[in-house]
A = this chain, B = another copy of it.
Amino acid sequence: MNKNSVINFAQKLALINEHWSPKVVAQLNDYQLKLVKVKGEFTWHQHVDTDELFLVIKGSMDIHFKDRVVPLTSGEMYVVKKGEEHKPVATDECHILIIEPSGVVNTGDAGGELTADNDVWI
């Protein structure tokens, strides 16, 4: 990992071999860009202090909200607003880029066994 070089998504994704474990690939001021491979159902949670952006690089996923389901596929992105309870779900493995401020924990206010280590760079 070199914090000042070109980030190639395919090369970085090849280094990830677990689901729901965001890996930081770039820092933009106090924001981080994290690659994640997702499959199955994540936990309901919210981030009380920040919006969170999902950009789908490969595959498809759904973001469940209490009042709707937002389907996303490769080449699409969506901003989950601060304080919105959501649950990401992917039937098949999906590769995504998440953008949010440094320090945001993947399970937000929910915690639990799906909580990943934070600030892990690849």
Given contacts A33-B53, A99-B99, contact A79 B9 (CB under 8 A): no
Residue of B nearest to A75 (CB): B9
Q: How many residues of A contact B (CB 8 A)?
A: 31
- Mostly, the A contact residues are strand
A38-69 CB contacts (< 8 Å) to partner B: 50-53, 57
**Complex interface bits, A5-18 against B, C-beta within 8 A gives 1, otherwise 0:** 11111100000000
5 more A-B residue pairs beyond the given contacts A5-B78, A6-B71, A28-B79, with a C-beta to C-beta distance below 8 A: A7-B76, A9-B76, A27-B51, A28-B53, A31-B99
- What are the 5 tightest A-B residue pairs by CB atom distance, in nearest-first order? A9-B75, A28-B53, A28-B51, A7-B77, A8-B76
